[in-house]
Every structure is written in structure tokens, then in C-alpha cells.
Structure 1
Amino acid sequence: DYEGLSNSMIEAVSMGMPSICTDCPIGGAKMVIHNGINGFLVPVGDCDGMAKAMDNASDIAYCSKVSENAKKTAERFSEKRIVNEWLRII
């Protein structure tokens, strides 16, 4: 019901996995996943929404596009970009 920014979610999305995540109140998943674009977000406790997301994830053509968009997400978490952000902050 509550999770921050999940490393395993970032890794899966960055590898192009069409990921289904719950949209927890703290908002970690929605910082990475744009519903239907690079993955799927489902409200916490929404069984019908989860079933629909799973159905969407079974559509090979749709998921190919989601997968390509998901791989682009990796650019946001590249080593070079993260190091530059830390240097900017420090």
C-alpha cells in the first residue's frame, strides 16, 4: 500500500519491461511510469484496474511500444546524469 521509489521497478522499466505498478499514495511509481506510455499504473486496491492492466500487458503490439518507451526511461537514471545532479547539488 505504501512504497517509495522502487529500485526493482526502475530496473525493470529501464530494461524495457512493460511493468504494472500500484500507484501508492507516496507516489514513487508515478515518478517513473506514465500510465499506458512506458508502463501501467493501477490505483491501490483496484482489482478491476489490475485485471485491465494485465489484459493490456498481454497485447503484444501495444506492449512493444510501451517497451520501447520504457527503455528511454533509463536515460533519466544514467550514471552520468545522476553524477551531474549530485555535483550540481553539492
Structure 2
Amino acid sequence: MGRKDSIQKYIQDAEIFVLPSNSEGMPNALLEAMALGLSCIATDCPIGGSAFIINDGENGLLVPMDDVDKMVEAIDKLINNKEFASKLRLRAEDVTKDFNAKKVIAEWEKYISSVVQ
């Protein structure tokens, strides 16, 4: 599909979002999916972007990199355990509190002030 604007209209009817990656900084796609209330699975890759966002088993699932069996297991768990998937969806939306623009800007200002002083 390539690059799309307004990604929300493309994924809003989804139930699960999977981010299989071997390298992530701060994955915006994962933040967007969680803000939309999707049950999310991401690989626990170096740098740790997904691990900064997902608390495994609480608001999403983290699986080891290159572990196809664990990825399949995680996807299967969300498909077959609707109650667990629903719990993750409800908690996933909390990212809008933790990563909203005002909070992120305040953290940057605090950091810059500490460096300047």
C-alpha cells in the first residue's frame, strides 16, 4: 500500500497489531495502534523502543526477535483468548496519557534545562 495519510481509517477495524522488527527507536506505528485500542504484539528488539511502550502481558505482548514460534503463540493467544485481548486493548489506550504532546514536551524542556545548567 505504501505511505498513507490518516492511517486510522485503515486499521481502526483491526483487532490485533503486530510489529515484527529487528530494530526500533520509538515506534510511532505501535503508539498509534495502541492509542486506537488495538491488542498489540511487538518484538523485543535492541534499543528497546517497543519495550519502553509495552509492559509485557499488561498492555501488549513482547516476543523475542527472530522467534517465529513465540510470535505465532502470541498471535494465537490473542485470537483465542478474547478476554485477555480485551484487557490488553483497554490498557493499550493508556499510551495517550504517557506519550501525549504536552507531557513529552515537558520532559524535553526538563532535560534541556538540566543540560544547560
Partner of residue 110, structure 2: 88
Please state if 1:79 is matched with 2:101. yes
Give 1 or 2 for the bigger CA radius of gyration. Answer: 2
* TM-superposition CA deviations, 1:31-74 (whole Å, max 9, x none): 00011111111100111100110011112111111111111122
User: Deviating runs (4+, > 3 A) in structure 1?
Assistant: none
Structure (1 or 2) with the greater helix fraction? 1
**Do residues 40 (structure 1) and 61 (structure 2) align?**
yes
How far apart are residue 25 of structure 1 and its match?
1.7
Q: CA RMSD in A?
A: 1.2
Q: TM-score, normalised by structure 1?
A: 0.90
TM-score, scaled relative to structure 2: 0.71
Percent identity over the alignment is 38
Give unmatched runs, 5+ long, in structure 1: none
Aligned to 2:91: 69
Cα distance between partner residues in 2 of 1:6 and 1:49: 21
**Count of aligned pairs between the two proteins:** 90
- Specify the code of the residue in structure 1 equivalent to 2:32: E
